[in-house]
Amino acid sequence: MEPAILLLLLVAVTLFFVSKRYEDQRLRLIIKGTAIVAATGALTSAGILLTK
């Protein structure tokens, strides 16, 4: 797999676990949303590379 895709997945997982450290629900939701977007982008990129 491309290093950029692995990096995006690492960022997504890290953001997900970092979000648990904050008490503010709004901030947690923003961080988790960013993690979901990063994971979706990585998986989409991996899917595009696999279908080529």
pLDDT tens track for 20-51: 898 999 999 999 999 999 999 999 998 998 89
pTM: 0.79
Can you tell me the distance from the alpha carbon of 31 to that of 52, in angstroms, rounded to the nearest whole number?
32
pLDDT tens track for 4-19: 888 889 999 999 899 8
* pLDDT classification of 1: cutoffs 50, 70, 90: low
CB 6, CB 45: distance < 8 Å: no
Q: What is the count of structural domains for the chain?
A: 1
